[in-house]
Structure 1
């Protein structure tokens, strides 16, 4: 999915901040099935996140005699592209037991993205179930600036309709496509992430994904060896300032942070190496001159943008649930539906994972 603080969409500067804050969503409870999941902007504040120990559930699935058992009853399992993405029909995520969820984590780590169709039962189980589901995969992240269903800050929402928008958006660019990995500025960014749409335009609003494993493999061995020696600053400051300006709900619940991550990280389950920079949150390479950092990052961003042979495009259908691994993919929302004035309402369940593991053993990150 293309840019964002998680998903990014094109801004309409025509919407005044007062409207966004005082009259956020033009609907009444009895006219929309998912009105209980509309964006709410509480005034609650939170202390800084603290480190925690994370063990990926996919590690348990490695010892399973058949770690794809959870797909046994699927009616269709189709690879979207050779390098990224699988689409599954006939598996009910809502009924997966703990073992099945472990296997799912391993499959997503290996394929980067797994798309499940016809998941109406999963979506309709509601926010308490979403929390229970996500907690299996890690500590649930509470977004510092986004809207959430009232009483459920762990559920990150993206929302846009004819009158309102609550996304991190840009208006002075020729494109809304901005590749990112969600909240990569956290010390322990997300691993397995679940996202679905509660309402969507008739056409448009797709999401692009790219394999950061494949983008890395396209580069020459000497250059990859150099990239392994580098670390980069990821920052949430710009996102927070965007909200402080009165947009996106105007709320900052936790002070923004900057953290240093390896430019090339290693997945704790598969051992695969992946490029770990993104245009939205990566700010500079540590230890390099300004021009050196800017030129390397620009090259890498352009490589990510243009590598269509590493990308997959998800066309949403009602009942679709996408599960991806933020450690080895990037995504960007596509905001091409604005003229239709239709609602696009999505919910993300975002468990945090380990602090990114450098591909180069011993790389200093402090």
Structure 2
């Protein structure tokens, strides 16, 4: 099973450390040391203190309700004149996944440019836009921008900036040495996943922007789940079509409870096709991940486990259809959560802060189109 890093806190003074609680992705902890994070303890202060995580106990929110998602990528001019005008530098990291773009400011895009953004990201899977101003925008403006791509997802357990539960934060504080404890029982921090795939309508076009970063390390890995599907034999592809798998959010909520964190909603379990189709490109992609997928419907346990293990290994070992994103100041990484998986890396041990914000528009309910051999 993939590892997990989870922060927790003591009652007397918020001190974060990591412990392994099983098979789910990294979740940021309940409580921060404000003396450290605001620089009052002699350490460097967080560059964007209004983005520091808060956990507000509250009554449970109502379950998420279905909504009609409109896929703007279907409307895009695929020559990308607004997104990639003359003077823009575009560098592909690999043939099928990963691109770096310099010379365009995302926040200035027209609606036509946003349509092109959705389509370009769907095609390239993950795109790193350098020298962006997202972190400096008022949070309300960043959220307004993201809302063009879908209804904002509110994470059921994670910390958020004060007053903005729609922003998911990835935060490892200054002088946090918790990884030392984690690596006493694990050999790797790699934990492949597709964000909150247990929701009925999981995310689509997703934005993650850097606030603070270590000097070296803390990269993010991405895998092209469409190319992973393409690499399978036609006979195996055909066998996967029609199969559905369960995706569970129960473990993530239980982990939050174990560290005394919040629970915004009751956890859900949903079933999705193992092969899903992208509404703009028509590409088919594998849609199972070891963090949230639990079993294949109507198969016996041993049968389900064998198929899922093969698919997890196929995605994890597919270095020839993966990309590694290195963070720079001002980077906004945009990926399509429907056709990729990703993993953060915990590979720096000098106590430097890693702090990012994610805007997570939800998309359509996963569906598949018929197999075409």
- Normalised to the residue count of structure 1, the TM-score between the two structures is 0.89
8 Å Cα contact 1:183-1:189 kept in structure 2: yes
Any conservation in 1 of the 2:206–2:337 contact (CA below 8 Å)? yes
- 2:26 matched to which residue of 1? none
1:59 Cα offset (Å): 1.3
**What residue in structure 1 maps to residue 229 of structure 2?**
216
Partner of 2:70: 55
Query: Are residue 187 (structure 1) and residue 193 (structure 2) matched?
Result: no
Which of 137, 141, 152 lines up with 1:125 in the alignment?
137
Quote how far apart the aligned CAs of 1:220 are: 0.6
Does 1:314 find its partner at 2:343?
Answer: no
Q: Would the alpha carbon gap of residues 166 and 173 (structure 1) be closer, same or farther in structure 2, given more than 3 Å must change?
A: closer
| SS of the residue 1:358 aligns to | coil
CA distance in 2, matches of 1:53, 1:165: 44
Report the Cα distance in structure 2 between the residues aligned to 1:354 and 1:165, rounded to whole angstroms. Answer: 39
Alignment check: 8 A CA contact 2:246 2:272 kept: yes
Moved beyond 2 Å, runs of 4+? 8-13, 15-33, 64-69, 162-167, 169-173
Q: Greater CA deviation, 45-54 or 71-80?
A: 71-80
Task: Provide the residue aligned with 1:134 in structure 2.
Answer: 146
Answer whether contact 1:73 1:91 (CA < 8 A) is retained: no
Q: Distance between the aligned counterparts of 2:300 and 2:78, measured in 1?
A: 50
CA drift of 1:33 comes to: 3.0
Looking at structure 2, the residues matched to 9 and 223 of structure 1 have their Cα atoms a distance apart, in angstroms, of 31
Rate the CA distance shift 1:165–1:16 in 2: closer, same or farther, 3 A: farther
> Equivalent residue of 1:135, what SS?
helix
| Structure 1 segment 212-251 matched on structure 2, within 5 A | 212-246=225-259, 250-251=261-262
Aligned length: 347
Contact 2:82 2:109 in 1 (8 A): no
TM-superposition CA deviations, 1:34-63 (whole Å, max 9, x none): 0011001111331100000011111111xx
Q: Which moved more, 1:280-289 or 1:42-51?
A: 42-51
Residue 23 of structure 1 and its aligned partner are, at CA, apart by: 4.7
Q: Deviations over 1:178-203 (max 9, x none)?
A: 11000000000000000011000000
**Contact 2:92-2:100 at 8 Å conserved across structures:** yes
Tell whether 2:310 aligns with 1:299. yes
More displaced, 267-276 or 121-130? Answer: 121-130
Measured after TM superposition, the shift of residue 325 of structure 1 is: 0.2
Q: 1:226 to 1:335 in 2, by over 3 A?
A: same
1:280 is aligned to 291
Residue pairs, 1:132-171, within 5 angstroms: 132-162=144-174
> Is the contact made by 1:159 and 1:166 (CA closer than 8 Å) also made in structure 2?
no
Q: Secondary structure at 1:118's aligned position in 2?
A: coil
2:218 aligns with 205
CA contact (8 A) 1:268 1:357 kept: no
1:33 aligned to 2:33?
no
The structure-2 alpha-carbon separation of the partners of 1:118 and 1:271, relative to structure 1 and needing over 3 Å to count, comes to same
Question: CA 1:131/1:23 → structure 2, altered by over 3 Å: closer, same or farther?
Answer: closer
Q: Which residue of 252, 263, 282 corresponds with 1:252?
A: 263
Query: Shift of the alpha carbon at 1:217?
Result: 0.8
Given that 1:58 and 1:105 are in contact with CA atoms closer than 8 Å, whether structure 2 keeps it comes out as yes
Per the TM alignment, residue 335 of structure 1 is displaced from its structure 2 partner at its CA by: 0.6
Contact kept, 8 Å, 1:48 with 1:255, in 2: the verdict is yes
The SS at the match of 1:225 is: helix
- Partner of residue 114, structure 2: 101
Higher relative contact order (CA 8 A, sep 6+): 1
- Residues of 1 paired with 2:267 and 2:177: CA distance? 22
Distance 1:302 1:220, change over 3 A: same
| Gap runs ≥5 in structure 2 | 17-29
Gaps of 5+ in 1: 362-366
Contact residue 73 and residue 90 of structure 1 kept, 8 A: no
SS of corresponding position for 2:83: helix
